[in-house]
């Protein structure tokens, strides 16, 4: 894994570690963090990092609703990237805590 891939993975996990987030929020915040380090990242790179984080068991995809149940875990689909919300698993929460320079707790 390259330094940039590791950075993107850490960003995605940290961003979704305290609340459900849409891909748009993940992309915006990842780009902001990357820019602060002189890096340029594409939407495709962030989407790939998110897909990898999910497949590695650090996060899950959800559909959110104003009606119960308010969140329903669903299979990740790149075709529904802009409809889904994302949140860390307990394993992802531990990773976020280990990356305080990106806003993780601890």
- Each domain of the chain, given as residue ranges in start order, spans 3-95
- Which of 2, 65, 51, 1 is CA-nearest to residue 23? 51
**pLDDT, mean over the chain:** 93
C-alpha to C-alpha distances, 54 to 48, 58, 67, 75, nearest whole angstrom: 10, 6, 25, 10
What pLDDT is recorded for position 105? 40
pLDDT tens track for 74-106: 999 999 999 999 999 999 999 999 887 775 443
Alpha-carbon Rg of the chain, whole angstroms? Answer: 13
What residue spans of the chain are helical by DSSP H? 3-15, 23-35, 43-55, 90-97
Structural fold of domain 3-95:
Arc Repressor Mutant, subunit A (1.10.10)
Whether the pLDDT of residue 59 is over 90: the answer is yes
pLDDT in tens, 24-56: 999 999 999 999 999 999 999 999 999 999 999
C-alpha angle 33/35/39, rounded to 5°? Answer: 105
pTM (two decimals): 0.91
């Amino acid at each position: 894994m390259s330094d940039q891939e590791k950075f993107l993975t850490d960003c995605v996990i940290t961003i979704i570690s305290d609340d459900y987030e849409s891909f748009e929020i993940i992309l915006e915040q990842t780009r902001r963090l990357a820019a602060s380090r002189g890096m340029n990242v594409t939407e495709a790179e962030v989407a790939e990092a998110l897909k990898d984080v999910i497949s590695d068991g650090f996060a899950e995809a959800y559909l959110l609703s104003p009606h119960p149940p308010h969140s329903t875990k669903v299979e990740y689909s790149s075709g529904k990237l802009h409809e889904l919300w994302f949140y860390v698993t307990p394993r992802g929460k531990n990773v976020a805590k280990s990356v305080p320079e990106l806003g993780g707790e601890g």
